[in-house]
Chains A and B, each alone.
Chain A
Amino acid sequence: MSMLSSVAERLYWMSRYLERTQDTARLIQAYNHLIMDIPKGAEPPWDIMIDILDAQPLFRSRFKAGSEQNVLKFLIADEKASCGIPFAVRAARENVRTTRDVLPEEAWELVNELHLFVEAHAGNASGRRNRHDFLSEVISRCQMVNGLLGASLPRDHAYGFIKLGRLVECADMTTRIMDVGAGDIMERAGRFGAIDPLLWGALLQALSAAAAYRREVGPIIEKDAALNFIFLSSTFPRSIKYFVRETRKELMRLNNNDLAIRSVERLRRRLNRLDAEHFTSGELHDYIDDFQQQLTSLDAAIQATWFSWENA
């Protein structure tokens, strides 16, 4: 059975917003762990998270100082911040609300409960004491939705567009974290040499890559291996290589896929030429900048072809 373009679009965005919720929660979690281990004065500033999410203008329009309290309030409790958790959860819920007929019945209940949970607890969760429990709960509720969809959705268009949304959002977040987070660690190289492994470890945590890295590479975390793993691991589901491969696979199942396939092929060629181990921070930034542009054009190709019927 085919699928309405408008429904495909909502599923894609539902999936992106759920992934965004989970990724933002992980990012905050990882930073939190890190901050407790690092000697005072050596830690990256709190608003590095705002840089990662590319939200400085919006953040500065609300808060003067990039303090812990302000950054967390912005990301956890501000309903209008489009990069924050309450906004993403609400947007995911609105999209599920209008696609209930193609999803398993429990999908709406789970997403609605996630929304109710965030609405009830976000106000008290920006302080250090409740933060951890809140974020863990948000992450596990997102995982429940993913689990439900993975276990019960037929592998048809609904699943395809949900998967595409997740892949695109995840690649977006991974590259943002690499750009700002890895860039920050590389720029400070040498100044606080002793804590570098801690920072790389936190970075892997934020990408939920720590355990996979240890198994595939080993317990010693250092720059070249970490970069290589995040970009080129062929088994880790949040790596860039995995993203490109799986996205291509999903696109191949769809009709009229020329535009989107061309876009993903460009990403693949760039990735094949990548020598991640010898990046300087400047090279990394340029590479990711270019990657982000290609990602944007892939997203535009998906929207134009299957959602808005621009070339129909």
Chain B
Amino acid sequence: MSKPWRRYSTGRFFDELITDGGSPRVAARRAVNFFKGLSAGELQARRAAAELAIKEMGISFTVYTEGENIDRAWPFDMIPRVISAREWSGVSQGLAQRTRALNCFIDDIYNRQQILADGIVPADIVLGSDNYKAQCEGVSPRFGAWAHICGSDLVRDHRGRFFVLEDNLRVPSGVSYMVENREITKRAVPELFKNYSILPVDDYPLKLYEMLTALSPRAAKRPNIVVLTPGIYNSAYFEHAFLAQGMGAELVEGTDLTVGDDDCVYMRTVDGPVRVDVIYRRIDEDFMDPEAFRPESVLGVPGLMRAWRSGKVAIANAPGSGVADDKVIYAFVPDMIRYYLNEKPLLDNVPTYLCMRERDREHVLKNIAKLVVKPANESGGYGIMVGPHSSAAQHRKFARLIEKDPRNYIAQPTLSLSTAPTYFEGKVQPRHLDLRPFILQSKNTWVTPGGLTRVALRKGSLVVNSSQGGGSKDTWIVEGKA
């Protein structure tokens, strides 16, 4: 064993590549042996190659700190995470099932509200939520699909079992990094691809295109699809451009679009106005139409909701989808699966305490030092308190917050997130990670093979968000015996 791997220990965690006994897992054997065969110098050279590729490909994301935008190169670890195709197939079916149920739920909520009438989900937590948009009532998008693109975060516990941590149904991001990570890995360790059968990920833009095409209100072979971005200063702008280019679609900002008196959406082109059929919306719904939502928004398109409600344009994800993207609603997803699909949930939720329930709240307040407390309605890892990593003062602060607004908080046990070997400062060490697969749904349901693996680069840290010091790895779904 070469020096960089010395004293690699999986500890009490499940390691993605190495068993408790210290040998490589079957699917990862070749990859682990390859990396173990590299000297410290060679590892450093590969890393430099990966960094150069990132810089040249211009892969970056934007971080907001104290009012300034900083463009940072994408932090990447070149040792891939390997999962066998057989194991993945089960996860993939579970994700598809979940997304179907979530869409049934959203469609139900804005129309008949049967699930509320049947008392499966309490009506007040749905209808009283900021995410419930009355402007969407009575709309029935094609195929009953509202959340056309879903990014669900998965984690594994200490035994290696997958759990769903949350479902992102508003404007989930990260998929371009999934595709680019594969490209970087090909440049950094090309030899490794020789003996592996790895499911490709670069057809994502094509799958997205097919999904969006099926939504078009006009029967055209090539409908006019646009990607609506808030602009260059958005942290995910790189991804918006990447996807538009991958689909051969126009990347537009609000000012490029107008809604006509006929309720159709048009884009301003050098040949005059051109009708738009499908909008892949990467702008928050609150900002997308000043007529319907926040009047002060300058990013949006006045009249867009009107156009969508009258069926003249399809919008993905549909406005209002966020009603199911809430950490309280999350707790009811297994019930939704049983209720709408009459199936047994294939993937488990992380056990979740709802602070709005008195019994749960008492438990949370008593055990706050052991739990992770999350606001119901934030993303990006903001506002989270990890009990075991926080001070007594922080425990008290969150206890007060919970008592003041119990509806807005949930708590979950601190998970022993799985780890994978990660090259950091000359050594290969275990680092915690999660996985965000993407699920597409319109006429059909489709799940990415793998997804975006995010890794907490700091030792012991559980926070994987790129805005908070996280990095990422390529994720391999490998077929056959490796």
Binding site for B on A (CB under 8 A): 2-8, 94, 97-98, 100-102, 105, 108-109, 112-113, 116, 157, 161, 254-256, 306, 309, 312
Cα distance, A98 to B245, chains bound together (Å): 11
Known contacts A101-B244, A101-B245; is-contact A3 B232 (Cβ 8 Å)? no
Instruction: Say yes or no: A2 contacts B58, CB within 8 Å.
Output: no
12 contacts between A and B (CB under 8 A): A3-B271, A4-B256, A5-B256, A6-B256, A100-B241, A100-B245, A101-B250, A102-B245, A255-B271, A255-B272, A312-B268, A312-B272
Instruction: Say yes or no: A116 contacts B256, CB within 8 Å.
Output: no
The answer to the question of B393 belonging to the interface, with a C-beta cut-off of 8 Å to chain A, is no
Cα distance, A102 to B268, chains bound together (Å): 16
Contact of B252 among A4, A112, A306 (CB under 8 A): A4
Q: How far is the CB of B269 from chain A (nearest CB, A)?
A: 4
Prevailing SS type, chain A contact patch: helix
The answer to the question of B356 belonging to the interface, with a C-beta cut-off of 8 Å to chain A, is no
Determine the residue in chain B with the shortest Cβ distance to A309.
Answer: B268
The answer to the question of B283 belonging to the interface, with a C-beta cut-off of 8 Å to chain A, is no
Q: How large is the interface on B (under 10, 10 to 19, 20 to 34, 35 or more residues)?
A: 20 to 34
Instruction: Say yes or no: B244 contacts A3, CB within 8 Å.
Output: no
Binding site for A on B (CB under 8 A): 55-58, 232, 241-242, 244-245, 249-253, 255-256, 267-272, 274
Determine the residue in chain B with the shortest Cβ distance to A109.
Answer: B56
Q: How far is the CB of A160 from chain B (nearest CB, A)?
A: 9
Instruction: Say yes or no: A306 contacts B250, CB within 8 Å.
Output: no
Cα distance, A112 to B55, chains bound together (Å): 9
Q: How far is the CB of B347 from chain A (nearest CB, A)?
A: 35
Contact of B245 among A3, A97, A105 (CB under 8 A): A105
Q: Known A-B contacts: A7-B250, A256-B272, A306-B270. Give 14 more (CB < 8 A).
A: A2-B271, A2-B274, A4-B252, A4-B267, A5-B256, A5-B268, A6-B253, A8-B270, A97-B58, A98-B232, A100-B245, A112-B56, A157-B270, A255-B271
Cα distance, A286 to B347, chains bound together (Å): 79
Contact of B270 among A98, A105, A116, A255 (CB under 8 A): A255
Known contacts A101-B250, A109-B57, A116-B55; is-contact A2 B245 (Cβ 8 Å)? no
Instruction: Say yes or no: B271 contacts A112, CB within 8 Å.
Output: no
**Chain A hits for B272, CB < 8 A:** 255-256, 312
Contact of A3 among B56, B57, B58, B270 (CB under 8 A): B270
**Chain A hits for B251, CB < 8 A:** 7, 101
Determine the residue in chain A with the shortest Cβ distance to B231.
Answer: A98
Contact of B269 among A2, A100, A109, A112 (CB under 8 A): A2
Instruction: Say yes or no: B249 contacts A3, CB within 8 Å.
Output: no
Q: How far is the CB of B424 from chain A (nearest CB, A)?
A: 25
* Centre residue among B58, B242, B249 by max chain A CB count within 10 A: B58
**Chain B hits for A98, CB < 8 A:** 232, 241
Determine the residue in chain B with the shortest Cβ distance to A8.
Answer: B270
**Chain A hits for B271, CB < 8 A:** 2-3, 255
Q: How far is the CB of A310 from chain B (nearest CB, A)?
A: 12
Cα distance, A2 to B256, chains bound together (Å): 13
Instruction: Say yes or no: A101 contacts B241, CB within 8 Å.
Output: yes
**Chain B hits for A7, CB < 8 A:** 250-251
Cα distance, A309 to B271, chains bound together (Å): 11
Cα distance, A112 to B251, chains bound together (Å): 20
Cα distance, A111 to B274, chains bound together (Å): 31
**Chain B hits for A254, CB < 8 A:** 270
Known contacts A109-B56, A109-B58, A116-B55; is-contact A5 B269 (Cβ 8 Å)? yes
Determine the residue in chain B with the shortest Cβ distance to A97.
Answer: B232
* Centre residue among B232, B267, B271, B272 by max chain A CB count within 10 A: B271
**Chain A hits for B58, CB < 8 A:** 97, 108-109, 112
Contact of A4 among B241, B245, B250 (CB under 8 A): B250
Determine the residue in chain A with the shortest Cβ distance to B244.
Answer: A101
Determine the residue in chain A with the shortest Cβ distance to B267.
Answer: A4
**Chain A hits for B267, CB < 8 A:** 4
